[in-house]
Amino acid sequence: MDNTLLFLINRQWTNPFLDRLMATFTSFDVWMPFLLILGLVLLWRGDFRMRSFIIVALLTIAFTDGVVTQFGKSLVNRPRPAQALADVREVSLENTHPGILGVFRPVKVVISQAPTGAVIGRSFPSGHAMNNTAIATLAILFFGRWGCLYLLPALVVAYSRIYCGSHWPSDVIVSAFLAVGFSLILASIFSYLYRLFASRWLPKLYARYPMLMASSAS
């Protein structure tokens, strides 16, 4: 089933427009400068809820990406599709500096060859799928219906990992479920810590915002 869905997405449901779109969505080098600037602006100009969301999201991703993803890749050691199968399309933007320039260059499409020898697998879990699902989960917790808007880019990024030949479908699906679980747990922990310490050390702030994920000032 994993192979069948992989080849449907990676080899059959393809066209040049999707090649460029998916390669762009999956490229962290393209988005990193924009995300950094956006995060700094929101921390500077955002309200309590927005700043809390940014901080909680950063701490959550530090855990899911820095601990869960890295430990999982070493523990599972699952080869990526292009390492395990022949005829997988590896779709990517040209490596440029800055990364945004790659969007305007021809898309690279390489067909994988039959595997030879042992490989070091880093296919599971998918960091892209886990991180973006975590952000989407937290956005819903903090912003309700408006937070659901981030589900679309999160889904596109997750799909792009399969389309570009970087992950198996099961990698992405399981990673997304793990991200939801870890995000809910961490959000609960951060909320508890906020109530515990803010009530003691920042009583004026706590009086105005008694909940970390409150939708508005009381």
Phi-psi region of 165 (alpha: psi -120 to 50; beta: other; left: phi over 0): left
pLDDT of residue 115: 84
Alpha carbon distance 138, 96 (integer Å): 32
Residue-wise pLDDT for 76-101, tens only, equals 999 999 999 999 999 999 999 999 99
Judged by average pLDDT, the poorest of 18-27, 118-127, 148-157 is 118-127
pLDDT at residue 117 tops 90: no
* Mean pLDDT to the nearest integer, 131-157: 97
pLDDT of residue 184: 97
Residue-wise pLDDT for 42-56, tens only, equals 999 999 999 999 999
Mean pLDDT of all residues belonging to the chain: 94
Residue-wise pLDDT for 127-139, tens only, equals 999 999 999 999 9
Range 2-187: architecture per CATH: Up-down Bundle (1.20)
pTM of the model: 0.94
| Residues in Cβ contact with 42 at an 8 Å cutoff, skipping those fewer than 6 apart | 50, 51, 54
* Mean pLDDT to the nearest integer, 20-39: 96
Question: How many C-beta neighbours within 10 Å does residue 135 have?
Answer: 23
pLDDT of residue 4: 97
pLDDT at residue 210 tops 50: yes
Alpha carbon distance 161, 64 (integer Å): 17
